Amino acid sequence: MRQKTGTITSHINDKTITVVVISYKMHPKYKKKYRVTKKYHAHDPENRYKTGDTVTIYETRPLSKLKRWTVVPPVKKELS
């Protein structure tokens, strides 16, 4: 299962967030690194996240025309 981490740029739609993921690639000839950004639409069933939050998303089956990712729920800490 593929996972990516990015920043939310939009949470206006119901149960959907837009996440921008920044990655770096290297030019094949000049060996210089350059930044690449890509937007993903992710499923947020509880409308929990807001613009500016950093989230991890994972790949799922197609949920709509553009949504193919779902937000990883936060891990609950157990008291010991």
Residue with the two structure tokens 């060996």: 31
Rounded to an integer, the average pLDDT of 43-49 is 95
Q: Which residues contact 22 (CB under 8 A, 6 or more apart)?
A: 6, 35, 36, 37
| Mean pLDDT value of segment 12-29 | 97
Q: 79: pLDDT confidence band, cut at 50, 70 and 90?
A: low
More confident of the two residues 74 and 66: 66
Domain map of the chain by residue range?
3-71
Report the mean per-residue pLDDT for the chain. Answer: 94
pLDDT, position 77: 65
Is residue 73 scored above 90 in pLDDT? no
Q: What is the CATH number of domain 3-71?
A: 2.40.50.140
